[in-house]
Amino acid sequence: MPSFVPLIFLLPVLQGCLVVRTPKCECPVLALTSSNIAENVESHEFYQNVSGYPMASPVVKSEDCSVSMYCKGDYSLVVFDEETATMSQLARVHIT
């Protein structure tokens, strides 16, 4: 047995895991209801088109950089993009 083999047992054994902490990615999402829609999007041009209809809060699921929303029952989902939407850009007000 070579003389350096016992030296191997003297070396510390290192074990570890690499942990990468990426910055949290969040998309601001607010589920609108009949009680908070006026204070949040009343100044939006499309507000008058939806404010007269019955409303229910959507189911919102947010994980890391993805957000999913859907409505229960026969409701349609309306999404306001309050940063860039105008009446000429209705593609930013999504109705599904």
**What are the tens digits of pLDDT across the range 23-82?**
776 667 788 888 888 888 888 777 888 888 888 888 888 777 778 888 888 888 887 765
Residue 72 lies in a domain: yes
Q: Does the predicted model carry a pTM greater than 0.75?
A: no
pLDDT (mean) for 10-25: 66
| pLDDT category of residue 90 using cuts at 50, 70 and 90 | very low
Provide the domain count of the chain.
1
- Is-contact 53 37, C-beta < 8 A? no
Residue 44 within a domain:
yes
Evaluate whether residue 6 is within a structural domain: no
What range defines the domain where residue 56 resides? 22-95
Q: Which helix (H) or strand (E) holds 68?
A: strand 66-70
Inside any domain, residue 8: no
Instruction: Name every residue whose Cβ is closer than 8 Å to that of residue 96 and which is 6 or more positions away in sequence.
Output: 76, 77
pLDDT of residue 94: 46
Q: Is 69 among the domain residues?
A: yes
For position 51, what pLDDT does the model report? 80
Residues ≥6 apart with Cβ < 8 Å to 31: 57, 58, 60, 69
